[in-house]
Amino acid sequence: MGNVVAIVGRPNVGKSTLFNRLIGERKSIVDDISGVTRDRIYGFSDWNGKHFSVIDTGGFVKGSDDIFEAAIRSQVAIAIEEATVIVFMADVTTGITDLDDEIADMLRKGGKPVICVVNKVDNSQRDLQANEFWALGFENTIFLSSMSGSGTGELLDMVVDFLPESEEESTSELPRIAIVGQPNVGKSSLTNALLGEERNIVTDIPGTTRDSIYIRYDKFDKQFFLIDTAGIRKKSRVHEDLEFYSVIRALNAIEEADVCILMLDASLGLESQDMSIMSLILKRKKGLVILVNKWDLIEKETNTARDFEKDLKERIAPFTDVPIVFTSVVEKQRIFKAMEIALEVAENRVRKVKTSELNDVLLPEIERTAPPAHRGRFIKIKYITQLPLHYPAFAFFCNHPKHIKPSYRNFLENKIRQNWNFAGVPIHIFFREK
């Protein structure tokens, strides 16, 4: 499975600030008001060559204190079930609270690797006070200040020690396709329609899917692995956590897949959660197919597929070279077409272009439209080659690599896409000094 690091703890201990430190960006809205973390709550990080997803559970809790406590308990339970490593965060200024004790108790019984992080330790007096947290009984306990960032490197060292050695992407000859999307868009129904059997119990209640399934598909001369990122196992979980649970599942599936089919509900269009999932897919350099489900329910007079697609491409720009398929899983419309396209995207992702061909095609284009000069210096691109990676990446060798503007990078990407089929796959371009 993909490596997921979950940050758990009471409200206001600094989970969002630590999350930002770990993924190296200011993603969450950090505020002192309880429960204000509403923004992006998951991202990717890498340290010492190991990749992992980080999830900030704070963003999933809404409501009053007692709801907080119930939701936190249920999140800790989910994290124990689903995460690879759990970062349990506490606050030196409040000391050990009853809720800290309770969380610690659940984590000790859970059997997953836990790192206890005592936050806000930013002077020698607090350093002394923090020692009481050893009483929680975690061998891996670390004092840090997530505001200043001191101690973050040490924490990352501890985290990656628990992660399995990164394998280069598995070179299984069969592509792995994951169906991801928000709860209730029809992911399980799609799996069932493809397999022609009720593998999951599908009902209209969001969150009734039982478990994640990894299925070898072998029909109609097509072979691939299907990763169904099912939702939630136990209906008793509170509704807020459905989102948390399905996000952890989606992160795991994205890590494992070669191509992700992002399912949208036609009546809802592209929502911010879908954009978040999409950006994760692209960040992890996976192939992407967008599947617009429940198209049969849309009034065709007012909405044409062309309008919908145009609107969708405006929203997902600049990466618009993405296949978009309109389906109705219930009516079994175009679902096999969607899988054919996903398999084509899997081929595009491993496509290799000969160095001679790249140079023959692109150097004349570059000659016609040279990179803009930087402070009177002319930039000359002399040579291009594709890098030996498991996703499309190209190195352009030139005299001033640092001075090439993003707009020119986009120009080169468009030229690559015009000449070779990389539909559905992010392309990475590097400029190197010759």
Q: Residue 297: which residues within 8 A CB-CB, separation 6 or more?
A: 266, 267, 328
Which segments of 254-386 are extended strands (E)? 259-265, 287-293, 324-326, 381-386
Could you report the per-residue pLDDT of 96-126, keeping only the tens digit for each? Answer: 998 899 999 999 998 899 999 999 998 889 9
pLDDT the model gives residue 348: 95
Three-state secondary structure readout of 162-218: HCCCCCCCCCCCCCEEEEEECCCCCHHHHHHHHHCCCCCCCCCCCCCCCCCEEEEEE
Average pLDDT, the chain: 80
Predicted TM-score of the model (pTM): 0.65
- Contacts of residue 2, defined as CB under 8 A and 6 or more positions apart, other chains included, come to 52, 53, 251, 252, 253, 254, 255, 256
For residues 148 and 131, what is the distance between their CA atoms, to the nearest angstrom?
A: 20
Q: pLDDT tens for residues 142-163?
A: 999 888 878 888 899 999 899 8
**Residue range 42-75, pLDDT digits in tens:** 677 778 878 788 887 765 555 555 666 777 777 7
pLDDT the model gives residue 60: 55
Cβ-contact 289, 322 below 8 angstroms: yes
Least-confidence region, from 41-50, 80-89, 143-152, 199-208 = 199-208
The label of the residue with tokens 């996976």 reads 286
Report the 10 Å Cβ neighbour count for 275: 14
pLDDT at 29: 37
| Residues 6 or more apart whose Cβ sits within 8 Å of residue 407 | none
In 3D space, the residue among 247, 215, 216 whose CA is nearest the CA of residue 231 turns out to be 247
- What are the tens digits of pLDDT across the range 365-391? 999 998 888 888 899 999 999 998 889
Confidence of residue 334 (pLDDT cuts 50, 70, 90): confident
Instruction: Output 433 or 2, whichever has higher pLDDT.
Output: 433
CA distance 12 to 151: 19
Higher per-residue pLDDT: 187 or 35: 187
